[in-house]
């Protein structure tokens, strides 16, 4: 079984709709992240969480919100989706120490906003 | 601020050729980590390697090797005897000790490698 799972894997929605992307992990990691990937670009950090009570904005948080329901679950919401939020979204996890800091990614969610 | 540049947008080679993917980085931190990730056509991101700024030893793992040179701020990745299964987008990333509380990863834009049979 995959250590980091994302649901749904693909989603097509319309402008103005509320969308939630979910991420679950069985790695036991404290840190979780949401990124988006646009064609021809690297990944950009949307939000990150060090634990259930510690949530922080990344470099492109506008238009997004998150919820850390448990150590293993981190959800990303688009309150009112717009077409330029069409992208590939990744959830990632890492251990709590910087010296052991590689991030492990989920399979991605491909979101299309019409 | 930190930055990662992967100047090669796309590379195409014939199977069994060697290929080197370039990565140049910028950071003011003296302590940092460099990473390579692979994104095959299926879309997931696969961690390949992490290297800290104090370890300039080259590393070899099977057909993969990495050349870290602080003097030129480069962390290049070589695939020897490439195979069709190596076709993917490869990302280089950097995490500096002062890159925010998340010690966040800054990714390059990726290099699309296509290995032709």
Mark yes or no for CB contact A42/B109 under 8 Å. Answer: yes
pLDDT tens digits along A11-48: 999 999 999 999 999 999 999 999 999 987 789 999 99
Report how far residue B69's alpha carbon sits from residue B24's, in angstroms, rounded to the nearest whole number: 10
Please say if the pLDDT value at position A78 is more than 80.
Answer: yes
- Closest CA of chain B from A97, distance in Å: 10
Reported as a pLDDT band with limits 50, 70 and 90, residue A95 is confident
Mean pLDDT in residue range A80-86: 95
Please say if the pLDDT value at position A52 is more than 60.
Answer: yes
Mark yes or no for CB contact A42/B110 under 8 Å. Answer: yes
Q: CB of B108 within 8 Å of any CB in chain A? A: yes
Q: CB of A96 within 8 Å of any CB in chain B? A: no
Question: B72 Cβ partners below 8 Å, 6+ apart?
Answer: B24
Per the prediction, chain B carries an average pLDDT of 91
Q: What count of Cα atoms within 13 Å lies in the side-chain half-sphere of residue A102? A: 15
Q: What is the DSSP letter of B4?
A: E
pLDDT tens digits along B27-81: 998 889 999 999 999 888 999 999 989 888 888 889 999 999 999 999 999 999 9
Cα dihedral value B41, B44, B48, B50, nearest 10: 140
Q: Name the residue in chain B with its Cα closest to that of A35.
A: B105
The percentage of chain B sitting over the pLDDT mark of 90, rounded to a whole number, equals: 71
Task: Tell me what pLDDT residue A42 has.
Answer: 84
Task: Tell me what pLDDT residue A15 has.
Answer: 97
Task: Tell me what pLDDT residue B100 has.
Answer: 64
């Amino acid at each position: 079984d995959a250590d980091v799972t994302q649901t749904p894997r693909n989603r097509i929605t319309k402008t103005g709709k509320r969308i939630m992307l979910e991420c679950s992990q069985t790695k036991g990691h404290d840190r979780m992240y949401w990124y988006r990937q646009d064609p021809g670009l690297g990944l950009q950090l949307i939000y990150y969480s060090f634990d259930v009570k510690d949530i922080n904005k990344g470099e492109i948080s506008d238009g997004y919100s998150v919820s850390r329901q448990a150590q293993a679950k981190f959800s990303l919401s688009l309150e009112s989706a717009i077409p330029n939020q069409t992208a590939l979204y990744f959830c990632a996890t890492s251990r709590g120490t910087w010296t052991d800091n590689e991030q492990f990614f989920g399979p991605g969610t491909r979101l299309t906003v019409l | 601020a930190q930055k990662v540049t992967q100047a090669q947008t796309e590379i195409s080679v014939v199977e069994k050729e060697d290929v080197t993917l370039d990565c140049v980085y910028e950071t003011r931190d003296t302590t940092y980590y460099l990473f390579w990730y692979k994104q095959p056509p299926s879309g997931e991101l696969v961690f390949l390697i992490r290297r800290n700024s104090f370890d300039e030893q080259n590393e070899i793992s099977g057909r993969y090797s990495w050349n870290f040179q602080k003097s030129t701020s480069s962390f290049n990745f070589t695939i020897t005897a490439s195979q069709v299964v190596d076709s993917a987008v490869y990302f280089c990333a950097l995490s500096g000790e002062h890159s925010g509380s998340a010690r966040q990863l800054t990714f390059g834009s990726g290099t699309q490698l296509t290995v032709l049979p």
